[in-house]
Amino acid sequence: MPDLQYFKYEFKEWLERLPIRAWINHNPKPVLAIATASVLTLFVILIWLSLPQKKVEVVEYDKEWYYDLNTCKLFTARVGQIPPIPAPSGPLPTGQPAGVRACVFSFTNEPNAPDKFIGFLETTDPNFPKDKVSNIELRYEGSELWAKGKLIKRPEDKQWFPADSRIGRAIMKLALRPNEKGQRPYYCPPE
């Protein structure tokens, strides 16, 4: 215990020998100004932190984009359906429904954007167990879980690729890359 008392005594002596202590004793006005500014800054921060947060508005859509594989045109359908779904042109020659989900983007964040483009198409893998296929809410669940059992492709591609494969991830990355002005694409919901 004597070592602790000795340390306290030495520390107190060291503080008293510091030139800053003498400066504080001879210049009380700047010290008071700094202390006052610190207290005011603390109050401003506390008031700012206690203000209510701006409520984030989540927009829920009733419809989403689908792509008719027969006509290569977009159409809208009720949100939450698991593709492929029936398309306006009828089934594919194989008898399967011709409607697949389309992820439509724009570089301007407005509903009637003139620069809309289809980033990629999405359908369900027919070899994936049907009981495990569902619409995943990405706000609450991970993208890896979303990709399970999904096939994607660009509209001009002939072949579908698993969304969780290297090529599938490359297709999504390509669709979401910035344009020459450095703008990132926004999801463009149907009107």
191 against 171, higher pLDDT:
171
Q: Is the pLDDT of residue 140 over 50?
A: no
Nearest to residue 138, comparing CAs of 103, 113, 178? Answer: 103
What's the rounded Cα separation, in Å, for the pair 125 and 160?
A: 9
Tokens standing for residue 178 = 């910035």
Its pTM stands at 0.64
What's the rounded Cα separation, in Å, for the pair 177 and 175?
A: 6
Question: If residue 14 lies in a helix (H) or strand (E), which one and from where to where?
Answer: helix 2-17
Tens digits of residue pLDDT in 147-164: 678 899 999 999 999 988
Q: Is the pLDDT of residue 167 over 80?
A: yes
What's the rounded Cα separation, in Å, for the pair 57 and 78?
A: 22
Provide the 8-state DSSP code for 134.
-
Side chain identity at residue 120, one-letter code: F
For tokens 């289809």, name the residue: 118
Name every residue whose Cβ is closer than 8 Å to that of residue 89 and which is 6 or more positions away in sequence.
68, 70, 71, 98
Residues in the chain: 191
What's the rounded Cα separation, in Å, for the pair 157 and 166?
A: 16
Average pLDDT, the chain: 83
Q: Residue 1: what pLDDT?
A: 53
Q: Is the pLDDT of residue 80 over 60?
A: yes
Question: Which is it for the CA torsion 69, 103, 120, 97, positive or negative?
Answer: negative
The secondary structure of 28-55 as a DSSP string is HHHHHHHHHHHHHHHHHHHHHHHSPPPP
